[in-house]
Structure formats: C-alpha cells, structure tokens
C-alpha cells in the first residue's frame, strides 16, 4: 500500500469525531456501507475526512462526490441534528 493512500492520524481522528455522534446501529450500518454513498443532487452529507468543513449539499455536477462521506439519509434525524450542531452547515444552504 502506498503511503499516499494510507489515512493519517488526523484523518482517522476527524472521521472518529463524526462517528462518535452515531448510535451503535448507525455506526455499524455506516461502516458496512463505506465507499458507496450514492449521492444525488440535493442530498446532504458530511465528508468524514474533513468534518470541520461542515455539512454539505450535492449540487448538479458534484453528484459523483468521492471519498468517505456520510449521507444524511444514513442516520436518524436526531443524529443528523447533532452532526449539524457540532460541525455547522455553512456549505448546505437551507431549502427555500
């Protein structure tokens, strides 16, 4: 394995800071679905490698977002509210 592809300590800590907000069932589900986000236009997600960038929303050409992401639909409304409160929503404008 190349060192470039190996997650660094800060990447792991960032991901763990998000996963710590999930219930045990949600965390198990998210780990099982890793790598297959299948995001569509308008979906909200958080990048597990950079959670401090806040909640994001897919817009058109970004539908092929890659990397380790947690889509909103993967967790309960209560968990998503915790994630949004902890990391912010500056890249996910509210629906009008």
Q: Tell me: the pLDDT tens digits for 45-80? A: 998 888 888 999 887 765 555 568 899 989 999 999
Q: What are the tokens at 57?
A: 């929303």
Instruction: Give the pTM.
Output: 0.73
Residue 30 included in any domain: yes
Is 47 among the domain residues? yes
| Coil/strand/helix, residue 55 | coil
Query: What is the predicted pLDDT for the residue at 79?
Result: 96
Alpha-carbon dihedral of residues 59, 65, 68, 70, nearest 10 degrees?
Answer: 30
Residue bearing the bigger pLDDT, 80 or 17: 80
Give how many domains the chain has, as a whole number.
Answer: 1
In a domain, 92, yes or no: no
Q: Is residue 59 one of the residues assigned to a domain?
A: yes
Residue 3 within any structural domain of the chain: no
In the chain the beta strands, taken as DSSP E runs, fall at 44-47, 56-57, 69-71
Range of the domain at 15: 9-87
Neighbours of 25 (CB within 10 A): 10
Which percentage of the chain shows pLDDT scores above 90?
A: 22
Is the residue at 83 inside a domain?
yes
- Per DSSP, the three-state class of 22 is coil
């Amino acid at each position: 394995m190349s060192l470039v592809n190996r997650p660094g300590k800060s990447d792991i800590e960032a991901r763990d800071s998000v996963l710590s907000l999930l219930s045990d069932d949600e965390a198990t589900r998210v780990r099982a679905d890793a790598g297959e986000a299948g995001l569509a236009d308008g979906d909200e997600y958080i990048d597990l490698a950079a959670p401090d960038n806040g909640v994001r929303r897919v817009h058109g050409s970004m539908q092929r977002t890659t990397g380790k992401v947690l889509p909103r639909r993967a967790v309960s409304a209560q968990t998503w509210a915790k994630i949004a409160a902890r990391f912010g929503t500056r890249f996910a404008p509210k629906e009008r």
